[in-house]
Structure 1
């Protein structure tokens, strides 16, 4: 430090000290600023962390809420599924009971009318009997069709897929509808090469029967063609008519229950129930067979059914029953419905058979132990009172017989379990309402 002679620092010395102090001050200020920046960054990071934690907490709460709602929704869906399955099981049981209870009185009435028709009647009475028979047939068709629709909707019907030889099926259909077509002056033609398809024979037959019946019903001039041909790796079956046709706005509606279009209801033909195409659509869906419709009003309609080609040949059909006489044959009938039993007895007696009727196994056992003549054939109702089964009667009588004892089992229940049990018992199954001609043919065949 340079001193002035008077003992004071010189200007140069003071200037250097001031510059040094300024440098120290600048360094200190820089350090302070850096410290402040570091504290600010840490604070900002702290604030950001708090904000992110809040967002994560909010999102977690939202996700938790969604999961709880999803769990409640899944529980509700599971409960609804269980309720639907329970309702479906109840519907199945109802259908089985309805099939029997609704058709039982129709069965008794038809048997009685058939027995009446075998008697010598004046023309007027025979005409009335015919009208009653047609009315009963309509009632039967309506009940059975509604039951079929309910079963298809409930998923009860399970197709039994097998090879089906189309020429035989189409020829049989044409033969059965030929009288109706000729009565209206219509041509009914079949065009089908040798083709085998994979389908359920009974369901496919029902589909084509309804289509051909509709075509004939709503055609007044020209005819109906039933044709099959190969198309795109499969088979298409066309039912084409020259009838009144269907308006564009009605082409989807014709597949609804009880719908009959304006042009169709104006036909002179007796109107149908409006259920034929509805059940056709459901059966085709159950079989996974595509169904399409094309139509021109005033020119006609073509309904096309797509079928898968089968590489396996169809099995040969068994020979048809050969009719023989029933005279003198002893028929034992077990039927818990009194009116049905009486009608069955009158019908069989008109065919010159000897008839014994019983309500249950106890009555049959009592008669046999009292020395009643053994029967030649059995006609047994499957569902008897108190949960009993007609097959128990067959087992009892066959156990006492030294020769084979044929049996026919009748029921309005179309379940596969009953079919399997009847087949295992070596009996023939006939569904109610019983067709007298079918019953007579089967009886005489089994007695031959």
Structure 2
């Protein structure tokens, strides 16, 4: 038994314990210590004030025990105060607390004899409690202290000396119970580690699979955009639209998989800033315009001048998933996006007029892979990750998300607790040319290590009138260009960040750049460390790429005007 316990002791160091666990464990132990001491005082008071068949404690022994218990409570209060004021892992404080516990029990059992045998339950609780709260090392230390306590009690208690088999039973119990607890802890740790490893493996698989499959989907999306502008007949154009519709369904699935794997990694950090809700709404409506047309849904947003303090990417993802669900489950019905003030905070609401959801399903809608399927229902695209991602992102940004629905009347999803922000001062732009006119003759350096994506992107840009220099790596002789569009992972330990730095250094200026990636946007943003560089998540929609190029041209033109005015 001892070998089993000591072997387990060596497998679990102190450092595995986390600060939050330590804080909760020590505070809980300190509070229960006070409760047990108070219960012992009550017990001693009762058995000394009336006749007890097993024999009351001698008066002078009872007085000594009560006095010590009062001192014990004062010390226990001091320990609790120290835990509250200085929380965290403090090994010296824990050992001192354990010595305090076992010395009190030793005195009570030594002086109390047969009447204080119930204190053994406290001894067992202290031993097991320290092991469960603080780990196997403390379980071993507590077990040794418990055996020493029983031995000392036997030396000083005539009653214990006259009952050797009772003493042996208590000692064996004090060994067997911790060994059993140790085996449970070891098995629990093994199962937990296996679950963590399986979860990590799942996240890696999802991240790698979704990233690798995004490349061909991204290329197909761009090729279909080229086909659409190739002067097709009505029948061929309808076929291209059907391909594009199916492609968008697959794209949304992989976007969900990547979002889940990224959130599982724990690397997503909200980058909050003041944002206009009208911009978020407009972006979501633009992203879902084609899907809304396919679903015969009127998608509308109530105009708003409110600004909130939030991560625009994460908030946009939340709203995108909610709207996507509304389009899937309420086809042919109107969908409304709006916001309202609630107790000094802002709430975003998405309402649809679909068939609604029965009460039995509502508590499970935010669970991963949960979908409402009734017998005879038609298949709906997706795997049930959308609302799960919404709930995770809400927790990450310290927001609240809720859903209410009435069968036959529709469903409403609410993102609440958004903090009001002061609006940014915007400069009105003069009338400008259309995006396609702006891009005619635009010299673009395109860097992409995937040849299919490179060809598809170059073909699309050329159809828009751009002059494209395409390369699978940063060219040794960087050509003169007006804009750089690059993938993030370029191979040979080169990233889009490196590419941008090299091109700008070679051309001697801040050439406007756009990064396209299949990775988490926040991770790429941290690596770029430049808020002026847009990041597009693959697969990129042609309209999204075109509007981003146009936005970069406007930003560059505005910067040039400011420089000219300064001169």
Scaled by the length of structure 2, what TM-score is found?
0.58
Matches within 5 A, 1:77-226: 77-80=188-191, 82-87=193-198, 89-163=200-274, 166=277, 169=280, 180=292, 188=300, 190=302, 197=308, 199-215=310-326, 218-219=329-330, 223-226=334-337
Instruction: Report what 2:454 is aligned to.
Output: 341
Instruction: Report what 1:329 is aligned to.
Output: 442
User: Which of the numbers 473, 476, 493 marks the counterpart of 1:387?
Assistant: 493
1:114-143 per-position Cα deviation (integer Å, ceiling 9, x unaligned): 122222222222111111111111111111
Higher helix share: 2
Matched, 1:259 2:382: no
Q: Indicate if the aligned counterparts of 1:228 and 1:238 stay in contact, CA closer than 8 A.
A: yes
Q: Equivalents in 2 of 1:212, 1:385: separation in Å? A: 36
> Bigger CA drift: 170-179 or 245-254?
170-179
Q: Equivalents in 2 of 1:427, 1:227: separation in Å? A: 29
Instruction: Report what 2:513 is aligned to.
Output: 407
Q: Indicate if the aligned counterparts of 2:346 and 2:416 stay in contact, CA closer than 8 A.
A: yes
Q: Indicate if the aligned counterparts of 1:181 and 1:216 stay in contact, CA closer than 8 A.
A: no
1:238-285 per-position Cα deviation (integer Å, ceiling 9, x unaligned): 43444322223333354452624549957xxx9443634343334334
Scaled by the length of structure 1, what TM-score is found?
0.71
Instruction: Report what 2:179 is aligned to.
Output: 68
> Bigger CA drift: 165-174 or 285-294?
165-174
Give 1:297 shift: 2.0
Structure 1 residue ranges without an equivalent (≥5): 1-44
Q: Equivalents in 1 of 2:234, 2:506: separation in Å? A: 48
Instruction: Report what 1:378 is aligned to.
Output: 484
Q: Equivalents in 1 of 2:531, 2:283: separation in Å? A: 31
The alpha-carbon distance between structure 1 residues 51 and 195, as it changes in their structure 2 partners (threshold 3 A), is: farther
The alpha-carbon distance between structure 1 residues 427 and 352, as it changes in their structure 2 partners (threshold 3 A), is: same
Give 1:197 shift: 5.0
Instruction: Report what 1:438 is aligned to.
Output: 544
Q: Count matched residues.
A: 393
Q: Indicate if the aligned counterparts of 1:117 and 1:126 stay in contact, CA closer than 8 A.
A: yes
Instruction: Report what 2:503 is aligned to.
Output: 397
User: Which of the numbers 363, 368, 382 marks the counterpart of 1:273?
Assistant: 382
User: Which of the numbers 284, 287, 310 marks the counterpart of 2:394?
Assistant: 284
The alpha-carbon distance between structure 1 residues 394 and 264, as it changes in their structure 2 partners (threshold 3 A), is: farther
Q: Secondary structure in 2 aligned to 1:202?
A: helix
Q: Indicate if the aligned counterparts of 1:333 and 1:356 stay in contact, CA closer than 8 A.
A: yes
The alpha-carbon distance between structure 1 residues 401 and 96, as it changes in their structure 2 partners (threshold 3 A), is: same
Instruction: Report what 2:405 is aligned to.
Output: 295
1:189-242 per-position Cα deviation (integer Å, ceiling 9, x unaligned): 6387x7655544333333334434444554578855545444456554443444
Q: Equivalents in 2 of 1:164, 1:375: separation in Å? A: 32
Give 1:103 shift: 0.1
Q: Equivalents in 1 of 2:531, 2:402: separation in Å? A: 43
Q: Equivalents in 2 of 1:175, 1:385: separation in Å? A: 33
Give 1:48 shift: 4.2
Q: Equivalents in 2 of 1:133, 1:195: separation in Å? A: 35
1:85-132 per-position Cα deviation (integer Å, ceiling 9, x unaligned): 555555554444334211000011111111222222222221111111
Instruction: Report what 1:57 is aligned to.
Output: 168
Instruction: Report what 1:248 is aligned to.
Output: 359
Q: Indicate if the aligned counterparts of 2:484 and 2:512 stay in contact, CA closer than 8 A.
A: yes
Q: Equivalents in 2 of 1:176, 1:109: separation in Å? A: 18
Structure 2 residue ranges without an equivalent (≥5): 1-155, 558-567
Q: Which has the larger radius of gyration?
A: 1
Instruction: Report what 2:14 is aligned to.
Output: none
Q: Indicate if the aligned counterparts of 1:187 and 1:222 stay in contact, CA closer than 8 A.
A: no
The alpha-carbon distance between structure 1 residues 264 and 233, as it changes in their structure 2 partners (threshold 3 A), is: farther
- Give the aligned CA root-mean-square deviation in angstroms: 4.1
Q: Indicate if the aligned counterparts of 1:422 and 1:428 stay in contact, CA closer than 8 A.
A: no
Q: Equivalents in 2 of 1:173, 1:373: separation in Å? A: 36
Q: Equivalents in 2 of 1:344, 1:172: separation in Å? A: 22
The alpha-carbon distance between structure 1 residues 118 and 307, as it changes in their structure 2 partners (threshold 3 A), is: same
